[in-house]
């Protein structure tokens, strides 16, 4: 149980040992997905300071409005805008205030504990119907390796840190393995709804919402859908108030509409966005030796050995196992776009990767970019002899290395 909830937390926070860009959806985009699959949510509209905003607000009747700045960061309610306006979340029962609030948010940068110091530019604001929540529960569906399939996690203690609930009151956590190719049986749905302490007609409503969420989970190739809270209102509604969705990156080819919604303008480094477009994993660092490596473990080892030899890596760049020549060329473009890079170290072990492919990509990129920084290459594995001949016959001043330590030593020495 503890393992499952830690897995849920890890996916929710997108905390990974390997630096990888993941699909980012804004709150209103997640709600829109839920709505398309019939999941009950708060009614909402999206404003962007366009001429249509006035008409949108005019026709959106609510007793009370929640106005929320849309950025990929938490702590919005306590945030401050760079224009001095306080709070990225406001509640008002006065419709005439809605546009005024949004106009003070859109086009300005919201600064919270989770944003860069300069904040994040707000381009859109979500205006939602405020609801009176009487009870909060927790529901999560995620893929679990131990169960070899999807698992449902439920708790009547929602709206709080679910890991703390599991630690302090484990009896309030229920785990149910699910079949990937069948709907959830009605008896199971009702059992979970009652465990969540819904009563009367709300039991059936809750069961229906869970089934809809599972249908969504499978249809969009999600690896996790977390609803916290799954709330009951004073009108007996069962509503998914806050939803966090994670998707299987390998399903991008059949979930093109969803991945097209990816929010990239908030990325701190546009090189990460560009790398992701070419299936490369890139994270900038503070050093001056650019690294091009295949495999996350080898990349980490390469950075360590550079530091051991007195150098500083400028980046983490993993080209992966199925890399092609054009990706190698793009990797070199990204590396050389960093003005701090004064030398490049290529370290590739050719298992799945063909060393000759890497060598051809290196030569082509070096000529195209007219590379003018020292380049050290260490290749080992599939077709390594052919690769070494390609480098040798290229006419380029490429230093080759016999092993990783030799490569790191030469890369550091080249800068000195």
The active-site residue, picked from 226, 232, 272, 325, is 226
The annotation status of 293 as a binding-site residue, yes or no, is no
Is 184 a domain residue? yes
> Has residue 366 got a pLDDT over 60?
yes
CA angle 240, 202, 29 (to 5 degrees): 15
- The pLDDT score that the predictor gives to residue 404 is 92
Range in 5-9, 211-215, 267-271, 328-332 the model is least confident about:
5-9
Distance CA 266, CA 247 (A): 19
Q: Given 213, 237, 260, which residue is the final one in a domain? A: 260
Percent of the chain with pLDDT over 90: 69
CATH of residue 203's domain is 3.30.470.20
The active-site residue, picked from 138, 214, 272, 282, is 138
Range in 43-47, 256-260, 403-407 the model is least confident about:
256-260
Strand partners, 283: 316
DSSP 313: B
Compute the average pLDDT of residues 126-144: 95
The annotation status of 386 as a binding-site residue, yes or no, is no
The annotation status of 87 as a binding-site residue, yes or no, is no
Render pLDDT for 136-176 as a digit per residue (tens, 0 to 9): 999 999 999 899 999 999 999 987 778 888 889 999 999 99
Is 24 a domain residue? no
The annotation status of 144 as a binding-site residue, yes or no, is no
CATH of residue 114's domain is 3.30.1490.20
Domain shared by 158 and 206, yes or no: yes
Is 27 a domain residue? no
Is 13 a domain residue? no
Render pLDDT for 14-52 as a digit per residue (tens, 0 to 9): 333 334 445 778 899 999 999 999 999 999 999 999 999
The annotation status of 153 as a binding-site residue, yes or no, is no
Residue 274 annotated among the catalytic residues of the structure: no
Structure token pair of residue 25 = 């959806």
CB 377 within 8 A of CB 383: no
CB 297 within 8 A of CB 246: no
Domain that holds residue 221: 132-260
Residue 282 annotated among the catalytic residues of the structure: no
Which DSSP string do the residues of 121-166 spell out, in sequence order? Answer: E---EEEEE---EEEEEEEEEEEETTTTEEEEEEES--SS-HHHHH
CB atoms within 10 A of CB 41: 21
The annotation status of 75 as a binding-site residue, yes or no, is yes
Distance CA 14, CA 132 (A): 31
Domain shared by 125 and 136, yes or no: no
Run of H or E including 35: helix 27-36
Is 62 a domain residue? yes
The annotation status of 353 as a binding-site residue, yes or no, is yes
Q: How many domains does the structure of the chain reveal?
A: 3
Render pLDDT for 341-357 as a digit per residue (tens, 0 to 9): 999 999 998 777 889 99
Range in 176-185, 249-258, 339-348 the model is least confident about:
249-258
């Amino acid at each position: 149980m503890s393992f499952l909830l830690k897995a849920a937390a890890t996916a929710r926070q997108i905390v990974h040992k390997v630096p990888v860009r993941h699909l980012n959806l804004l709150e209103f985009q997640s709600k829109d997905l839920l709505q398309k699959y019939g999941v009950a949510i708060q009614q909402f509209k999206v404003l962007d300071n366009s001429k249509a905003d006035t008409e949108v607000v005019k026709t959106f009747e609510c007793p009370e409005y929640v106005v929320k700045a849309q950025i990929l960061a938490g702590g919005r309610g306590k945030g401050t805008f760079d224009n001095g306006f306080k709070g990225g979340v406001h509640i008002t029962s006065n419709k005439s205030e809605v546009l005024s609030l949004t106009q003070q948010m859109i086009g300005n940068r919201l600064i919270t504990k989770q944003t860069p110091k300069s904040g994040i530019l707000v381009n859109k604001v979500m205006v939602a119907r405020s609801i009176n929540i009487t009870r909060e529960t927790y529901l999560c569906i995620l893929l679990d390796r131990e169960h070899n399939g999807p698992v449902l996690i439920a708790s009547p203690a929602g709206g709080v840190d679910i890991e703390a609930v599991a630690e302090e009151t484990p009896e309030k956590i229920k785990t149910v393995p699910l079949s990937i190719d069948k709907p959830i049986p009605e008896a199971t749905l009702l059992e979970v709804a009652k465990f969540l302490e819904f009563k009367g007609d709300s039991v059936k409503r809750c069961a229906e919402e869970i089934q809809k969420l599972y249908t969504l989970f499978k249809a969009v190739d999600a690896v996790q859908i977390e609803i916290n809270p799954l709330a009951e209102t004073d009108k007996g509604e069962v509503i998914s108030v806050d939803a966090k969705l994670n998707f299987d990156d390998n399903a991008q080819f059949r979930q093109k509409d969803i991945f097209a919604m990816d929010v990239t303008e908030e990325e701190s480094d546009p090189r990460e966005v560009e790398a992701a477009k070419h299936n490369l994993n890139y994270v900038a660092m503070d050093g001056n030796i650019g690294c091009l490596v295949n495999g996350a473990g080898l990349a980490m080892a390469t950075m360590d050995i550079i530091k051991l030899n007195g150098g500083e890596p400028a980046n983490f760049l993993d080209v992966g196992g199925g890399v092609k020549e054009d990706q190698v060329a793009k990797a070199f473009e990204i590396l050389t776009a960093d003005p701090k890079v004064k030398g490049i170290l290529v370290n590739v072990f050719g298992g799945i990767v063909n060393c000759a492919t890497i060598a051809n990509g290196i030569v082509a990129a070096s000529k195209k970019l007219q590379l003018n920084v020292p380049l050290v290459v260490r290749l080992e594995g599939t077709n390594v002899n052919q690769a070494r001949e390609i480098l040798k016959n290229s006419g380029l001043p490429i230093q080759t290395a016999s092993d990783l330590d030799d490569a790191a030593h030469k890369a550091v020495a080249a800068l000195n």
